[in-house]
């Protein structure tokens, strides 16, 4: 695990998924937000930009997801969707026509474990010293378990997003 600051541990630096084909962006976003809620995360959309290009639309969507695990640990997951050459298409699915999009999508998922997010120990130099001892002597194994839990949840979210796109690309071969 890479150290970012003394109170934050980077658990997943960057998990990338890149796919090209036909997909329903709204369904991908719903699958991701549903998984976040299911795992107990709050989330906010911190960026949503759309640019029209001659090759299609370019979109960037960024989510920040967070979950308070207890009074000492908090999980953060950051998700960035970059969509290139996105154009609307009509897809025939189960005999019905549906509007979807064709393009390239790249999803980047990162996660960070934040410790002492209430800054209980940061009020004095002696408090910082006690925090170091507390983490080394008492919380070492617990921090490793928390990093493992966050790693698992990060990859679960990544798999849900990847599967939602991959399933659509496999199903939507016929379009107009």
Phi-psi region of 95 (alpha: psi -120 to 50; beta: other; left: phi over 0): left
Q: Which one-letter DSSP state was computed for residue 176?
A: -
Cα gap 23→173, rounded to integer Å: 10
Domain with 61, as residue range(s), is 2-171
Segment 125-163, tens digit of pLDDT: 887 787 777 777 777 888 899 999 999 999 999 999 998
Ordered strands of the 56-68 beta sheet: 2-5, 8-23, 96-115, 73-93, 56-68, 42-53
1 three-class SS: coil
Q: Is residue 42 in a domain? A: yes
Q: Is residue 57 in a domain? A: yes
Segment 23-38, tens digit of pLDDT: 889 999 999 999 999 9
DSSP string, 151-174: HHHHHHHHHHHHHHHHHHHHH---
Segment 53-104, tens digit of pLDDT: 999 999 999 999 999 999 889 999 999 999 999 999 988 877 888 888 999 9
Q: Is residue 154 in a domain? A: yes
Predicted pLDDT of residue 2: 45
Q: Is residue 176 in a domain? A: no
Q: How many H helices and E strands in the chain?
A: 3, 6
129 touches 121 (CB < 8 A):
no
Q: Is residue 83 in a domain? A: yes
Cα gap 84→103, rounded to integer Å: 6
pTM recorded for the entire structure:
0.83
Residue 173 predicted with pLDDT over 70:
no
In the chain, the number of structural domains is: 1
Q: Is residue 142 in a domain? A: yes
């Amino acid at each position: 695990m890479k150290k970012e600051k003394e109170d934050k541990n980077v658990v997943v630096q960057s998990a990338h998924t890149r796919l090209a084909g036909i997909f329903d962006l709204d369904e991908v976003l719903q699958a991701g937000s549903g998984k976040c809620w299911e795992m107990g995360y709050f989330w906010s959309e911190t960026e949503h930009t759309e640019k029209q290009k001659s090759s299609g639309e370019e979109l960037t969507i960024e989510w920040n997801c967070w979950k308070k695990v207890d009074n000492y640990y908090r999980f953060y997951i950051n998700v960035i969707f970059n969509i290139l050459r996105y154009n609307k298409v009509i897809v025939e699915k189960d005999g019905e026509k549906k509007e979807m999009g064709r393009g390239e999508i790249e999803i980047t998922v990162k996660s960070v474990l934040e410790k002492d997010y209430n800054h209980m120990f940061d009020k004095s130099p002696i408090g910082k010293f006690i925090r170091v001892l507390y983490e080394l002597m008492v919380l070492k194994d617990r921090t490793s378990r928390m990093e493992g839990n966050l790693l698992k949840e990060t990859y679960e979210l990544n798999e849900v997003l990847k599967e939602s796109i991959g399933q659509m690309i496999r199903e939507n071969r016929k379009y107009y």
